[in-house]
Structures are given as structure tokens and as C-alpha cells.
Amino acid sequence: MASVKLEKISKEFQLKDGAVLALNDVNGEIGDREFVSLIGPSGCGKSTVLRLIAGLVPPTNGEIRLHGLTPAAARSQRMYAFVFQDPVMFPWRTVIKNVEMPLEVVGGKTSKERADHAQALLKLVGLQGFEKAMPNQLSGGMKHRAAIARALMLEPPVLLMDEPFGALDEITRDRMNLELLRIWGATNAAVIFVTHSIEEAVFLSDRILVLSPRPGTIVADIPIDLPRPRTLLVKQSEQAFNYSTLVRKKLTEITIAAEIDQFGATPE
């Protein structure tokens, strides 16, 4: 069974001065343990796709299923975890208490069990020794590691990540990408990863979905056949470069199409 299935999704936002069609006829299937990136120019509806899957907003039309369940049912069974661009750490809680939050909300575990589980995950994301630190003592990258540990707390089969490293500098982002692949390898989760970095998408993904804007729809579905485990050497390989070129070409086509839409086909 597909871990996430989108069927003929459209999403219209009602604004004061009329409606905006953000997504139209979006179809897709994400397999178990698959790593899929969603790429497209900003404002094309990437976040909206994730928020629809998470049930944070309802679709105008179409059907969304996570392992056969509706988003609401999937959420009550904690089938997904959402990682936002901002790490969203609560400043009054220590790092480990932040990571424990999902299990606290679910309940049914002793505080010792919670702490042990959180500790193991902090070790997995490379934050051992920082359990008792306060979030404001961590660097940007470390906060994102903590946010990922928290997302893994309930062992969700689906991870939804909305530009989680978008605000990090490039060097930190490269390191976080390596870490993410290592962490993903240690879990059974399928990942839907939103980014606007082509290189990041190529490096991480099994498949890249290219989204066009206004209304957002999937215009390309590009399998990335790079060997795993992926190292920075893979990232610099000619193969990876060719994939990046391919994705870039798709994105350029979208941009040109949008410009023609706007200014007409034959500028003088």
C-alpha cells in the first residue's frame, strides 16, 4: 500500500476579493520508506500540499489517504509528524523535554520511559550531552536536530518536512542533509520533503516532484537513481550534476511558461 496517496486534489483559498486556486489536479503516490522531494518556485503550493496531507487545511476537491486513512484519522493515530521551517522549540523546556512533548501529549508512558526514548533519539540526531540544555543555548542546526528527534518520537511512518533547513547556511545545510539521510536510514519512515534547492532535492531523494505555479500542479516526476548510501562524493558526481540540470531545465520551462502567460509569446 502507498504510504501517501493524493487523488485529483484541488485547493481553493477564499480571499476577500475572490478565490485563489492554489492547487489543481494534483495526483501522486509516495511509497513506503520512499524519500520524495517537492520542488517548485515559491508560492506554487508546496506547503499547501503538506498541510493538506497533515489535515491542517481541507482540500476543496479530491482525496488524500495515508496508509488508507483520511488525514484526520491518520493524525489521531499519529501516522505522520510535521517538521516546520522554524524548529518551534518551547523556550521554557529543556531540549529533552521538548523532544518528549509528542509522547506527553499521547500519554500512557511513564516519565522514565519518555525520557529514555527521547534520550535515544537525541543520541541518534547527535545531540547527546545536550539533554538538559535550554533551546536558546543551541545553534540553529542543533535546534533542527532536536526538532527532527521530536518528530521521530512517535515513530511515524510518514515524515512531512517543509523546508526544514531553508533558514540554515549552506555548510550547515549540507551537514544536516547527510545527517537526515543517516537518520532516515535508521527509521522506517517515508519522507515528503519540500525544498527550493535543486541540489538538496537531488542529493536526498528517490524521486522529485516538480510543481508548477498558479495553479500548482505536478509537471514532472523524476526518479533519482543515485547509489545509496549517499556521500558528499555522490553529491559532486557527474550523475548528480546531470539530475540537477534536468530538474533545473524543468523549473526554467515553468518560469518561461509563466512569463509567456504574463507578457505574451513574442516580446519585441
Partner 1 sequence: MERVEQAKRKKTSNGLTDAAQAYGTSALLILAVLALWQFGIPEGMSSALPKPTLIAVTIWKIAPILWDNVLQTALEALLGFVFGTLAAVLIAIGFVYSRTVARTVYPIAVILRSLPLIALMPFLVSWLGTGIMSKVVLAALTCFFPTLVNMVQGLTSVEPQALELMQTLNANEKQVFWKVRLPYALPFLFTSFKITSSAAVLGAIIGEWLWANVGLGAFIVNAMFNMQGPELWASMMVATALSILAYILAVVGEILIVPWQKNGPKIEVGK
The site partner of 136 among Mg ion, ligand ADP, partner 1, none (C-beta below 5 to 8 Å per kind) is partner 1
Provide the CB-side half-sphere exposure for 28 (13 A, CA).
Answer: 26
The site partner of 175 among partner 1, ligand ADP, Mg ion, none (C-beta below 5 to 8 Å per kind) is none
The site partner of 205 among partner 1, Mg ion, ligand ADP, none (C-beta below 5 to 8 Å per kind) is none
Interatomic CA distance for residues 38 and 215, integer angstroms: 15
Residue 7's φ and ψ, nearest 5 degrees, are -125, 115
Interatomic CA distance for residues 221 and 212, integer angstroms: 12
Site string for ligand ADP, 31-60 (x = CB under 6 A): ---------x-xxxxxxx------------
The site partner of 43 among partner 1, ligand ADP, Mg ion, none (C-beta below 5 to 8 Å per kind) is ligand ADP
**CA separation, residue 258 to residues 19, 20, 116, 189, 209 (Å):** 20, 16, 52, 35, 18
Query: Which residue number, 20 or 257, has a Cβ lying nearer to ligand ADP?
Result: 20
Strand partners, 179: none
Could you say which of 3, 24, 37, 47 contacts Mg ion (CB under 5 A)?
Answer: 47
Give the residue among 154, 156, 187, 153 at the shortest CA–CA distance from 3.
156
Query: Which residue number, 46 or 143, has a Cβ lying nearer to ligand ADP?
Result: 46
Binding site for ligand ADP (CB under 6 A): 13, 15, 20, 22, 40, 42-48
